[in-house]
Amino acid sequence: MMLKGTKVYSIFTGACPKCHQESMYKNRNPYVLRDVFKINEKCSHCNTRYLIEPSFFYGSMYVSYGVGIAFAVAAFIISYLFLHSSLLTAFIAIVVTMIAFGPIILRLSRNIWINLFMSYDKNLVKK
């Protein structure tokens, strides 16, 4: 992957924020809802602990607010401005989008949150 080594890669793939060698999640598919919160304890490649402190990922709620707004604004622009729907239809489109993309918003927020605290380290990849 050409973006490997950047935060963007880790944020969009859910890869370990330090070595980018494996997924942080037990199940990479966010739509398997019973596994959506399940995260590995640490990276089997570089031994990075993902839970820096207890309840670390509660902080990602702050991020998910911003990510959610981004999805809502996108839904509004597409339905109201591009498809010329009524305001009520645009509102329904926003609600449907928030529900449909909920698991993705949740994972993106967690990935952004952990990437605020950890950076890629290319020395860990060679191990």
Stretch 40-79: interaction string toward Zn ion, x if CB under 5 A:
---x-xx-x-------------------------------
Q: Of the candidates 11, 19, 94, 105, which one interacts with Zn ion according to CB under 5 A?
A: 19
CB of 20 to Zn ion, least distance (A): 7
CB 41 within 8 A of CB 49: yes
Six token digits for residue 53: 């402190």
Q: Which residue has the tokens 């998910």?
A: 64
Torsion of CA 116, 121, 125, 127, to 10 degrees: -120
* Residue 28 binds Zn ion (CB under 5 A): no
Q: Which residues bind Zn ion (CB under 5 A)?
A: 16, 18-19, 43, 45-46, 48
